[in-house]
A and B are shown apart, each in its own frame.
Chain A
Protein backbone atom coordinates (compact mmCIF):
# COMPACT_ATOMS: atom_id res chain seq x y z
CA UNK A 1 0.00 0.00 0.00
CA UNK A 2 1.10 3.54 -0.70
CA UNK A 3 1.08 6.13 2.04
CA UNK A 4 2.45 9.57 2.79
CA UNK A 5 2.79 10.79 6.36
CA UNK A 6 3.26 14.40 7.38
CA UNK A 7 3.38 14.14 11.15
CA UNK A 8 3.59 17.89 11.74
CA UNK A 9 0.06 19.26 11.56
CA UNK A 10 0.91 22.86 12.41
CA UNK A 11 4.18 24.75 12.79
CA UNK A 12 4.74 28.36 13.82
CA UNK A 13 8.06 30.14 13.43
CA UNK A 14 9.24 33.69 13.76
CA UNK A 15 10.28 35.40 10.57
CA UNK A 16 13.87 34.68 9.49
CA UNK A 17 13.98 31.39 11.34
CA UNK A 18 14.70 28.18 9.41
CA UNK A 19 12.01 25.50 9.37
CA UNK A 20 11.94 21.89 8.17
CA UNK A 21 8.78 20.13 7.09
CA UNK A 22 8.92 16.36 7.36
CA UNK A 23 7.57 13.84 4.88
CA UNK A 24 7.76 10.06 5.18
CA UNK A 25 6.43 7.82 2.43
CA UNK A 26 5.66 4.14 2.01
CA UNK A 27 5.70 2.20 -1.23
CA UNK A 28 6.94 -1.13 -2.49
CA UNK A 29 7.41 0.18 -6.00
CA UNK A 30 10.98 0.71 -7.12
CA UNK A 31 10.06 3.56 -9.45
CA UNK A 32 8.15 6.43 -7.96
CA UNK A 33 8.05 10.20 -7.84
CA UNK A 34 7.83 12.58 -4.91
CA UNK A 35 6.40 16.07 -4.91
CA UNK A 36 5.91 19.08 -2.69
CA UNK A 37 3.05 21.52 -3.19
CA UNK A 38 2.21 24.78 -1.49
CA UNK A 39 -1.36 25.90 -0.81
CA UNK A 40 -1.47 29.55 0.23
CA UNK A 41 -4.56 31.03 1.93
CA UNK A 42 -5.99 31.84 -1.50
CA UNK A 43 -6.48 28.09 -2.00
CA UNK A 44 -4.67 27.23 -5.21
CA UNK A 45 -2.10 24.44 -5.30
CA UNK A 46 1.37 25.49 -6.35
CA UNK A 47 3.95 22.96 -7.50
CA UNK A 48 7.32 23.28 -5.79
CA UNK A 49 9.42 20.26 -6.74
CA UNK A 50 9.38 16.77 -8.26
CA UNK A 51 11.98 14.14 -7.45
CA UNK A 52 12.45 10.73 -9.07
CA UNK A 53 13.14 7.66 -6.95
CA UNK A 54 16.42 6.99 -8.71
CA UNK A 55 17.78 10.47 -8.06
CA UNK A 56 18.71 11.04 -4.42
CA UNK A 57 20.58 14.22 -5.10
CA UNK A 58 19.44 16.99 -2.80
CA UNK A 59 18.19 20.19 -4.35
CA UNK A 60 18.33 23.84 -3.45
CA UNK A 61 16.24 26.56 -4.99
CA UNK A 62 16.75 29.94 -3.40
CA UNK A 63 15.59 29.69 0.21
CA UNK A 64 14.09 26.26 -0.38
CA UNK A 65 15.95 22.97 -0.12
CA UNK A 66 14.89 19.35 -0.21
CA UNK A 67 16.55 16.32 1.35
CA UNK A 68 15.62 12.96 -0.20
CA UNK A 69 16.78 9.85 1.66
CA UNK A 70 15.61 6.50 0.36
CA UNK A 71 17.16 4.70 3.35
CA UNK A 72 14.64 6.38 5.66
CA UNK A 73 11.90 6.88 3.04
CA UNK A 74 11.91 10.58 3.73
CA UNK A 75 11.65 13.66 1.56
CA UNK A 76 12.01 16.66 3.85
CA UNK A 77 11.62 20.30 2.90
CA UNK A 78 13.55 23.13 4.52
CA UNK A 79 12.81 26.83 4.24
CA UNK A 80 15.75 29.02 5.18
CA UNK A 81 15.19 32.51 6.59
CA UNK A 82 11.42 32.15 6.51
CA UNK A 83 9.20 35.00 5.40
CA UNK A 84 5.57 35.86 6.06
CA UNK A 85 4.76 34.95 2.44
CA UNK A 86 5.80 31.38 3.24
CA UNK A 87 2.71 30.99 5.43
CA UNK A 88 0.69 28.26 3.78
CA UNK A 89 -0.24 24.60 3.94
CA UNK A 90 2.42 22.37 2.40
CA UNK A 91 1.63 18.97 0.97
CA UNK A 92 3.98 16.13 0.20
CA UNK A 93 2.79 13.65 -2.44
CA UNK A 94 3.84 10.30 -3.86
CA UNK A 95 3.19 9.21 -7.44
CA UNK A 96 3.36 5.55 -8.37
CA UNK A 97 1.67 3.99 -11.35
CA UNK A 98 -1.23 6.21 -12.32
CA UNK A 99 -2.15 7.61 -8.93
CA UNK A 100 -1.01 10.33 -6.60
CA UNK A 101 -1.10 9.95 -2.82
CA UNK A 102 -1.06 13.07 -0.67
CA UNK A 103 -0.10 13.61 2.93
CA UNK A 104 -2.49 15.46 5.20
CA UNK A 105 -0.43 18.62 4.97
CA UNK A 106 1.54 20.84 7.34
CA UNK A 107 0.19 24.30 8.08
CA UNK A 108 3.08 26.74 8.42
CA UNK A 109 2.59 30.14 10.03
CA UNK A 110 5.43 32.63 9.87
CA UNK A 111 5.05 35.33 12.50
CA UNK A 112 6.42 38.76 11.62
Chain B
Protein backbone atom coordinates (compact mmCIF):
# COMPACT_ATOMS: atom_id res chain seq x y z
CA UNK B 1 0.00 0.00 0.00
CA UNK B 2 1.98 2.99 -1.29
CA UNK B 3 -0.66 5.63 -0.54
CA UNK B 4 -0.20 8.65 -2.79
CA UNK B 5 2.84 8.84 -5.02
CA UNK B 6 4.05 11.66 -7.25
CA UNK B 7 6.37 11.61 -10.22
CA UNK B 8 8.84 13.28 -10.57
CA UNK B 9 10.13 14.57 -7.24
CA UNK B 10 12.18 17.38 -8.76
CA UNK B 11 12.20 19.10 -12.14
CA UNK B 12 13.80 22.14 -13.71
CA UNK B 13 12.17 23.61 -16.81
CA UNK B 14 12.94 26.49 -19.10
CA UNK B 15 10.27 29.07 -19.80
CA UNK B 16 7.93 27.82 -22.48
CA UNK B 17 8.61 24.11 -21.98
CA UNK B 18 5.84 21.70 -21.14
CA UNK B 19 5.62 18.87 -18.68
CA UNK B 20 3.20 16.54 -16.94
CA UNK B 21 3.15 15.64 -13.28
CA UNK B 22 1.72 12.26 -12.40
CA UNK B 23 -0.16 11.44 -9.22
CA UNK B 24 -1.19 7.91 -8.35
CA UNK B 25 -3.16 6.56 -5.40
CA UNK B 26 -3.94 3.00 -4.41
CA UNK B 27 -6.63 3.66 -1.79
CA UNK B 28 -9.60 3.62 -4.21
CA UNK B 29 -10.40 7.23 -3.35
CA UNK B 30 -12.99 9.03 -5.44
CA UNK B 31 -11.54 12.50 -4.99
CA UNK B 32 -8.14 13.74 -6.10
CA UNK B 33 -6.59 17.20 -5.88
CA UNK B 34 -3.64 19.21 -7.09
CA UNK B 35 -2.25 22.02 -4.92
CA UNK B 36 0.65 24.39 -5.17
CA UNK B 37 2.53 25.63 -2.13
CA UNK B 38 4.36 28.94 -2.19
CA UNK B 39 6.13 30.68 0.70
CA UNK B 40 3.65 32.57 2.87
CA UNK B 41 0.69 31.44 0.76
CA UNK B 42 -0.20 28.10 2.23
CA UNK B 43 -1.65 25.50 -0.11
CA UNK B 44 -3.80 26.68 -2.97
CA UNK B 45 -6.04 24.36 -4.94
CA UNK B 46 -5.31 24.23 -8.67
CA UNK B 47 -7.76 21.60 -9.93
CA UNK B 48 -9.61 18.70 -8.45
CA UNK B 49 -11.58 15.66 -9.53
CA UNK B 50 -14.55 13.98 -7.89
CA UNK B 51 -14.35 10.86 -10.00
CA UNK B 52 -12.93 9.19 -13.07
CA UNK B 53 -13.45 11.31 -16.14
CA UNK B 54 -14.37 14.47 -14.21
CA UNK B 55 -12.30 17.54 -13.37
CA UNK B 56 -13.03 20.98 -11.95
CA UNK B 57 -11.18 24.24 -11.40
CA UNK B 58 -9.91 25.26 -8.02
CA UNK B 59 -8.63 28.60 -6.78
CA UNK B 60 -5.65 29.02 -9.15
CA UNK B 61 -6.30 27.00 -12.35
CA UNK B 62 -4.78 29.33 -14.97
CA UNK B 63 -1.83 27.86 -16.85
CA UNK B 64 -2.62 24.28 -15.84
CA UNK B 65 -4.66 21.44 -17.26
CA UNK B 66 -5.59 18.12 -15.69
CA UNK B 67 -6.95 14.75 -16.68
CA UNK B 68 -8.41 11.81 -14.76
CA UNK B 69 -8.69 8.97 -17.25
CA UNK B 70 -8.28 6.32 -14.57
CA UNK B 71 -9.61 6.46 -11.03
CA UNK B 72 -6.17 5.94 -9.52
CA UNK B 73 -4.32 8.57 -11.58
CA UNK B 74 -4.56 12.35 -11.76
CA UNK B 75 -2.29 14.20 -14.18
CA UNK B 76 -1.32 17.86 -13.99
CA UNK B 77 -0.02 19.48 -17.16
CA UNK B 78 1.83 22.70 -17.80
CA UNK B 79 1.62 23.51 -21.51
CA UNK B 80 3.97 26.51 -21.50
CA UNK B 81 5.80 26.88 -18.21
CA UNK B 82 6.38 30.32 -16.71
CA UNK B 83 8.66 31.40 -13.84
CA UNK B 84 5.52 32.18 -11.80
CA UNK B 85 4.81 28.45 -11.77
CA UNK B 86 7.94 27.74 -9.75
CA UNK B 87 6.50 26.05 -6.71
CA UNK B 88 6.09 22.85 -4.76
CA UNK B 89 3.18 20.82 -6.08
CA UNK B 90 1.24 18.45 -3.87
CA UNK B 91 -1.27 15.86 -4.95
CA UNK B 92 -3.86 14.53 -2.53
CA UNK B 93 -6.71 12.05 -2.52
CA UNK B 94 -9.67 11.34 -0.28
CA UNK B 95 -12.98 9.61 0.01
CA UNK B 96 -15.96 11.85 -0.62
CA UNK B 97 -16.81 13.75 2.53
CA UNK B 98 -20.12 11.94 2.79
CA UNK B 99 -18.38 8.57 2.79
CA UNK B 100 -15.52 9.54 5.00
CA UNK B 101 -15.37 8.53 8.63
CA UNK B 102 -14.54 10.96 11.40
CA UNK B 103 -10.85 10.22 11.07
CA UNK B 104 -10.63 10.39 7.29
CA UNK B 105 -8.78 13.18 5.61
CA UNK B 106 -6.93 14.01 2.47
CA UNK B 107 -3.84 11.90 2.01
CA UNK B 108 -0.97 13.84 0.50
CA UNK B 109 1.84 12.79 -1.76
CA UNK B 110 5.44 13.76 -0.99
CA UNK B 111 5.42 16.75 -3.33
CA UNK B 112 7.17 17.78 -6.55
CA UNK B 113 9.57 20.70 -6.49
CA UNK B 114 9.38 22.50 -9.83
CA UNK B 115 11.68 25.33 -10.89
CA UNK B 116 11.01 27.30 -14.07
CA UNK B 117 13.96 29.33 -15.30
Q: How far is the CA of A104 from the CA of B104 in the complex (A)?
A: 22
Say yes or no: A44-B97 contact (C-beta < 8 A), given A50-B102, A99-B58, A104-B40. no
Report B92-113 CB contacts with A as 1/0, cut-off 8 Å.
0000010000111111101100
> What's the Cα separation between A35 and B105 when bound, in Å?
8
| CB atoms of A91 and B42 under 8 A apart | yes
Say how far B9's CB is from chain A's closest CB, in angstroms.
10
Which A-chain residue is minimally distant from B58 (CB atoms)? A99
Q: Give the residues in chain A near B44, CB-CB below 8 Å.
A: 102
Identify which of residues 8-37 in chain A touch chain B, using a CB-to-CB cut-off of 8 Å.
9, 33, 35
Q: Does A60 contact B (CB under 8 A)?
A: no
Q: Tell me if A98 and B88 are in contact (CB < 8 A).
A: no
Cβ of B43 under 8 Å from chain A: yes
Most chain A C-beta atoms within 10 Å of own C-beta, residue among B43, B48, B58, B88: B43
**Complex-state Cα separation, A100 to B108, whole angstroms:** 13
User: B42–A44 contact, CB under 8 A?
Assistant: no
The residue on A at minimum CB distance from B107 is A47
Instruction: Give every chain A residue within 8 A of B45 (Cβ-Cβ).
Output: 99-101
Q: Which residues of B contact A45 (CB under 8 A)?
A: 90, 108
C-alpha spacing A70/B41, complex, angstroms: 25
Residues of A within 8 A of B31 (CB): 98
Q: For A97, give the chain B residue with the smallest CB separation.
A: B97
Chain A neighbourhood of B104, CB < 8 A: 50
Q: With a CB–CB cut-off of 8 A, which chain A residues contact B106?
A: 35, 47, 100
Assess whether A98 is in contact with B48, with CB atoms less than 8 Å apart.
yes
Closest 9 CB pairs of A and B: A45-B108, A104-B42, A102-B43, A102-B42, A47-B105, A105-B42, A50-B105, A98-B50, A103-B42
A-B contact pairs, 16 of them (CB 8 A): A33-B97, A35-B106, A43-B111, A45-B108, A47-B106, A50-B103, A50-B104, A50-B105, A52-B102, A91-B42, A91-B43, A99-B58, A100-B45, A100-B106, A101-B59, A102-B43
